[in-house]
Amino acid sequence: MPSVLSPAPIYRIPSELLSIIFELAHADASRRLCDTWWSHIGTRNYARDVMRLLATLCTVSHTWRNLALSLPRLWMVIPIINLQDGPFALEDFVARSSSLPLTVVASGPQEHKYEALQAVTQSHILSRIHRVNIATPHADMGSHGVVATTLTRHFPAMEHVAFADLFGELHSQWIILHAEQLVSMKMDHFFASGLGFPRKVSFARLERLILNVYSPETAPLLTHGVFPLLVELHLGGASTNECPSHPLPSLRLLALRTINFDGYLLTLRFLPIAPSLECIIFTGDKREKERLLAKFCPATETEEEKASPIHAPQLQRLILRGGGQIGDSILKRAMKHRAGSVLPHHDWTIELEHVTILLDE
């Protein structure tokens, strides 16, 4: 009778396969950490998850520990939590990551984070930092906060930045200092008005910009910026209709969530300055969605109010999102006349995401 082979213990899996598993698990934990850039609580919790994962990989067995310590990709993300009480020091991340680019993620006002960020800003580490994510509580905006510590230095290799709750001239000037080198930028609450923000700031390499709150305080960053390579623009909580002062020749995607009366007009104001725009994602209430669609229904208006075709040569998709309802009559009219509502005339699609069609009586 043939013998039955029992499976090998998990810690005896071949190193090549373990390496893949370790790196995939760490990549997933790091992605969740970086995706919570707008929340200091989420950032803190996911930073702890990354540290726990590393600690687990290094304690199962000597084989696992040696393998984990030898994989540079596991040490590319530096979570600024209580490194003093944890199993790893800042130097461990710097040394184990070899020469790979580093990501620094920090949250919270505690003193150990202040000291850790001071260490991060040493020149031999600065040159390797490509991404900075800082989610800081509103109460920690004083001169001894973690943000103030970080924003006193220039990061020569930094290409990606994500900040929540930025206040004061220091933060504005730090962004300007790095404007020419940034590839992506995410901001939650950024107050630029009244801070001497220049009338023209060149973001020569920026491809993706997210402003979770687009308000009169935030608007100067967009209205004064020059974005020749910007491909994606995400504006949340829009309470102003201020539009960029300079063309956006490379813009392909505009995602806009409006909370302002007549906020749908902001979408239309982008079309003349963004000739390459292919996709618009619009989130608003029923009235805002319908008024936006009405602009693509010239045949439904009186001759005195008849709308001219909209210059949108590359428009392919209009996505209406965010729940709520929309009347079926306005939707049908927009679908019927959409090809003739844009210049040059061409077909494009209207899509609904989590929006209910309401049958008009």
Query: Taking the domains of the chain in order of start, what are their residue ranges?
Result: 8-190, 203-361
Instruction: Please give the order of strands across the beta sheet that includes 253-258.
Output: 77-80, 102-107, 129-135, 160-164, 184-187, 208-211, 232-238, 253-258, 279-283, 317-321, 349-353
- Alpha helices in 191-236, H assignment, sequence order: 219-223
User: What pTM was estimated for this model as a whole?
Assistant: 0.86
φ, ψ for residue 243 (rounded to 5)?
A: -115, 155
Confidence of residue 87 (pLDDT cuts 50, 70, 90): confident
DSSP bridge partners of 256:
235, 282
- Partners of 279 in the beta sheet? 253, 317
User: Where does the chain have alpha helices with state H?
Assistant: 15-35, 40-57, 62-70, 90-96, 111-120, 123-126, 146-150, 169-178, 219-223, 264-270, 286-294, 328-337
3-state DSSP assignment of residue 48: helix
Instruction: Choose between 145 and 243: higher pLDDT.
Output: 243
pLDDT of residue 44 exceeding 50: yes
- 306 φ/ψ angles, rounded to the nearest 5 degrees: -60, 130
Q: In the structure encoding, which two tokens stand for residue 287, read together? A: 């009235």
Rounded Cα–Cα distance for residues 74 and 70 (Å): 9
Tell me phi and psi for residue 315, to 5 degrees.
-60, 125
Lowest mean pLDDT among 141-145, 255-259, 285-289: 141-145
Q: Give mean pLDDT, residues 3-26.
A: 79
The one-letter amino acid code at 98 reads S
Q: Give CA separation, 167 vs 142, 154, 181, 212, 326, in Å.
A: 10, 18, 22, 15, 38
**Residue 65 exposure: Cα atoms within 13 Å on the Cβ side:** 8
Which of 211-250 are b and which e, b meaning 16 or more Cβ less than 10 Å from the residue's Cβ?
A: bbbbbebbbbbbbbbbbeebbbbbbbbbbbbbbbeeebeb
User: What are the structure tokens assigned to 195, written together?
Assistant: 């801070």
Can you tell me the mean pLDDT for 296-314? 69
Cis omega (within 30 of 0) on the bond before 244?
no
| Candidate ranges 6-10, 278-282, 293-297; pick with highest mean pLDDT | 278-282
pLDDT for residue 221 is more than 90: no
- Map residue 336 onto helix, strand or coil: helix
| Residue 190: how many other CB atoms lie within 10 Å | 24
231-264 pLDDT, tens per residue? 999 999 898 888 998 999 999 999 999 987 788 9
How much is the average pLDDT of 178-194?
80
- Peptide linkage before 344 cis (omega within 30 of 0): yes
Q: Worst-scoring range by mean pLDDT, 52-61, 78-87, 168-177?
A: 78-87
Domain 203-361 class, CATH top level: alpha beta
Q: What is the spatial distance between Cα 102 and Cα 125, in angstroms, rounded to a whole number?
A: 9
Where are the alpha helices (H) located in 146-285, listed in sequence order? 146-150, 169-178, 219-223, 264-270
- Which pLDDT belongs to residue 157? 92
> How does pLDDT run across 57-79, given as a tens digit for each residue?
999 889 899 999 999 999 999 88
Q: Are 81 and 47 in contact (CB under 8 A)?
A: yes
C-alpha distance across the termini of the chain, in Å: 77
Q: How far apart are CA 65 and CA 56, in angstroms?
A: 9
Q: With both helix axes pointing from N to C terminus, report the angle between 40-57 and 15-35 in degrees, rounded to the nearest 10.
A: 170
